[in-house]
Chain A
């Protein structure tokens, strides 16, 4: 994980290569052209939303449900050209009218921790498929970058245990 003293650009990189991963409480279910991941009732880890992935484990979706609204989220992993295994993680809202947005403000949602736990589970599944991949996670605002670093950093440290 990035440490203090590195530049902001460097600190935005989370290197996950070599993490030992194991299936903890995920039950994958093949369904048509996608795979569903559901949390079992005996889970003692952070709660997360059920999520769906494609066969390549490069595209994931889940639906956030809070008192205020319901939002479909898409998690995309895209490899950087000439990077030898560095992937970008993009988190998008698929709006009810079909449009896409990357400007969601997480401050207004009460389920932030659950949503971030779900993203970290997507990360874990991705890393199982691509164990030598490295992932760049950077918000489109400094506040989001700080949030991702804080919340996902904690979740990723749980993954490494």
Chain B
């Protein structure tokens, strides 16, 4: 029996909805939230200007 081939679009939906990916992204967002909220990002942008 042939294994159905997953389309790019279906795989994208699956990857984005995957709990593990959601957890990874949430962790990244949380880790950076404090940096953004404390003004770190703005300071870094000012340094770049």
Residue of B nearest to A18 (CB): B48
* Number of A interface residues in the complex (CB < 8 A): 32
Interface residues of A in 54-80 (CB under 8 A from B): 54, 59, 61, 74, 76, 78, 80
A100 close to chain B: CB less than 8 A: yes
How many inter-chain contacts with C-beta < 8 Å in the A-B complex?
A: 75
Interface residues of A in 89-136 (CB under 8 A from B): 90, 92, 94, 98-102, 134, 136
Main secondary structure of the interface of B (DSSP, over half): helix
The residue from B12, B25, B48 contacting A90, defined by CB atoms under 8 A apart: B25
Is the interface on chain B under 10, 10 to 19, 20 to 34, or 35 or more residues? Answer: 20 to 34
Known: A92-B15, A100-B18. A33 touches B29 (CB 8 A): no
Does B9 lie within 8 Å of A88, measured CB to CB?
no
Residues of A contacting B7 in the complex (Cβ-Cβ under 8 angstroms): 32-33
Q: How far is the CA of A10 from the CA of B48 in the complex (A)?
A: 12
Does A80 lie within 8 Å of B8, measured CB to CB?
no
Does B29 lie within 8 Å of A61, measured CB to CB?
no
Interface residues of B in 25-49 (CB under 8 A from A): 25, 28-29, 32-33, 35-37, 40-41, 44-45, 48
19 contacts between A and B (CB under 8 A): A9-B40, A15-B44, A32-B7, A32-B9, A33-B9, A54-B12, A59-B12, A61-B8, A61-B11, A76-B16, A76-B25, A80-B32, A80-B36, A86-B41, A90-B24, A94-B11, A102-B24, A136-B28, A136-B32
Q: Could you tell me which B residues sit within 8 Å of A by CB distance?
A: 7-9, 11-12, 14-16, 18, 20-21, 24-25, 28-29, 32-33, 35-37, 40-41, 44-45, 48
Q: Could you tell me which A residues sit within 8 Å of B by CB distance?
A: 9-10, 13, 15, 17, 32-34, 52, 54, 59, 61, 74, 76, 78, 80-83, 86, 88, 90, 92, 94, 98-102, 134, 136, 138
